[in-house]
Amino acid sequence: NSFVTRTNTCGELRSAHVGQKVTLYGWVQYQRQGLFLVLRDFQGLTQIIIPQDEAHSHVKELLSSAPVESVVRVTGIVSPRPPGQENPKMPTGDIEVKAETAEILNSCKKLPFEIKDFIKKSEALRMQYRYLDLRSFQLQSNLRLRSRMVMRMREYLCNLHGFVDVETPTLFKRTPGGAKEFLVPSREAGKFYSLPQSPQQFKQLLMVGGLDRYFQVARCYRDEGSRPDRQPEFTQVDIEMSFVDQAGIQRLIEGLLQYSWPEERGSIMTPFPSMTYEEALAEYGTDKPDTRFGMKIVDISDVLRRSDIQFVQNALSYPHGSVRAICIPQGVRYLTNKDLESLKQSAKSQFNQEIVEIIRRPDGSLKSVLTKFLGEKQQSELIQALNMQGDDVVLLAAGEHKHVCSALGTLRLLSANLLEAAGLALRDPTAFHFLWVVDFPLFLPKAENPTELESAHHPFTAPHPSDASLLYSDPTKVRSQHYDLVLNGNEVGGGSIRIHSAEQQRFVLEKVLKEDSEVLSHLIEALEFGAPPHGGIALGLDRLISLIVDAPSIRDVIAFPKSFRGRDLMGNAPDYVTPEELEPYHIQVSWPLEEKEAKKN
């Protein structure tokens, strides 16, 4: 209550304050028949008793007529609630304030929606009136938890470990590879700035500059449309260190998260488990596994290698052919035929992958189109390999190893959603399973042209020391010193040890990625002036906080987010500008025909 004219907040009065005269400021949450109202501020709720005597008739009239969400000041005496009228669900439920004087500071007009967490509101309406939505308990709680965590992170990095907080430019130039960047026109004809998708180059240049340890809560930009876990502008906890290896960065981040972790979410155990990219793909079908539940992908190629099943033999005849399966516990009990069909359809539509189901009946026998091709011994081996129990359902796929794993990985998550929707508790919503994924490939074939390579992480990532020579002979086989941090099946951080040799950096850009290294000449030249070995990481702050508070979208942990299509519905941005405003930037808008017609009308 420092610097303000209130004596207390609406969430702090208790029985110990009985008899005190207090002044409260807040919003009218609720008013009942001119008898009492509930006043709300950022910290909580207090019940205000409206005086009924003649001497305070003006106070009664004022408070009885104040619309919901009006801002009022109330001065009165803290009193105990009458016996039997206490509210144990409210922290202030043992007391009430008997109003003596009051003032309406600002009356509220008719609301577009009720400001209560349990009232359903369309997201578009919430975004349009974001300043009202921010009054809800949930958003207030999310933003305050975010603020506390960032403060603790600053303490840990700057005060305990000597990091320097440096702001890097947001007007820069295009970076090769990676996500699409927003362009900002300049007054030089044909020249544009780019908004950086991360401070990657600047933090490396700070290491060349000898800063040793850098950190920043950085604003980043990507022009690639919104998804539930993406925004065109987002925030990273950005970190870079000199003279460090992968293990050093991992220990730093584990310590950082342990130090800043909210007490009310329990404690997290360190060190976090680690898994290679190949293991993650083989067992979970993804490079961001959700390890809160089992249902791992099992390789059953050897069990079925001697079978007469044609599609199995076809798959195994290819160099990377594989037969794999997942076992859905109690699938018969919890999944309908419609559910199983939808799983098969998902595999077909997303991966063009056929799925065969196998059911283990309660008597131990198997039910499947495949059983007639399998002898008793093979059926027994299959049951053992998949640890099948009665009423379990197995989904089997055959084909190229990575393709089959990806399809089954998707089905694993879809199955988990279906089981939980049917009432089977599979994933503990209060559990936080962190995991390091390491040993990623340094390069991957481009989706649009598999004969060309692109960086799996970014072009500044260093090759694994054991694979350094392969960079020049067979770059597709090179592992990288790239590491991702995964939480409950979501990537919440990614980093790498960087290339600090100008020669190696030039080779990767020009010879492997076929990029024009001239765009990065400033960075390559900097590496020639005694660049130290260095590495770093960036944590996605929005995503991390949304997982901690169990928000359905990162938009629920950002004060003023963009909509699903990247628009600001409250301020109506982006917006048109006049030709006169564009003139200094040497830009003319070429309108699509239908928009020309719309503007005419």
CATH number at residue 392: 3.30.1360.30
Q: Do residues 171 and 49 share a domain? A: no
Residue 595 lies in a domain: no
Q: Do residues 219 and 188 share a domain? A: yes
User: Distance between CA atoms of 303 and 207, rounded to whole angstroms?
Assistant: 53
Domain that holds residue 27: 15-106
Q: Do residues 418 and 437 share a domain? A: no
pLDDT tens, residue by residue, 35-71: 999 999 999 999 999 999 999 999 999 999 999 999 9
Q: Please classify residue 344 by burial: count the beta carbons closer than 10 Å to its beta carbon, then call 0-12 exposed, 13-18 middle and 19+ buried.
A: middle
User: Distance between CA atoms of 62 and 34, rounded to whole angstroms?
Assistant: 10
Q: Do residues 297 and 411 share a domain? A: yes
Q: Do residues 180 and 300 share a domain? A: no
Q: Do residues 439 and 396 share a domain? A: no
Residue 281 lies in a domain: no
- Looking at residue 118, its pLDDT comes to 73
Cβ proximity of 536 and 203 under 8 Å:
yes
Residue 490 lies in a domain: yes
Residue 111 lies in a domain: no
Residues of the chain falling short of pLDDT 50: none
Residue 53 lies in a domain: yes
CATH number at residue 76: 2.40.50.140
Residue 308 lies in a domain: yes
Residue at which a domain ends, from 392, 422, 452? 422
Q: Where are any strands of DSSP class E within 33-112?
A: 36-41, 44-49, 71-80, 95-106
Cβ proximity of 95 and 78 under 8 Å:
yes
- Looking at residue 1, its pLDDT comes to 83
Q: Do residues 258 and 190 share a domain? A: yes
Neighbouring C-beta atoms of residue 5, cutoff 10 Å: 8
Q: How many domains does the chain have?
A: 3
Residue at which a domain ends, from 367, 398, 422? 422
- Looking at residue 599, its pLDDT comes to 61
Residue 56 lies in a domain: yes
Q: Where are the alpha helices (DSSP H) in 425-549?
A: 470-473, 502-507, 521-527, 541-548
Q: Do residues 378 and 437 share a domain? A: no
pLDDT tens, residue by residue, 533-549: 999 999 999 999 999 99
CATH number at residue 505: 3.30.930.10
- Looking at residue 304, its pLDDT comes to 94
pTM, rounded to two decimals: 0.93
Q: Do residues 262 and 310 share a domain? A: no
Q: Do residues 393 and 450 share a domain? A: no
Residue 287 lies in a domain: no
User: Distance between CA atoms of 397 and 389, rounded to whole angstroms?
Assistant: 20
- Looking at residue 275, its pLDDT comes to 98
pLDDT tens, residue by residue, 343-365: 999 999 999 999 999 999 999 99
Residue at which a domain ends, from 58, 90, 106? 106
Cα→Cα distances 394→330, 340, 362, Å: 10, 10, 14
Q: Do residues 182 and 155 share a domain? A: yes
pLDDT tens, residue by residue, 473-508: 999 999 999 999 999 999 999 999 999 999 999 999
Q: Do residues 376 and 455 share a domain? A: no
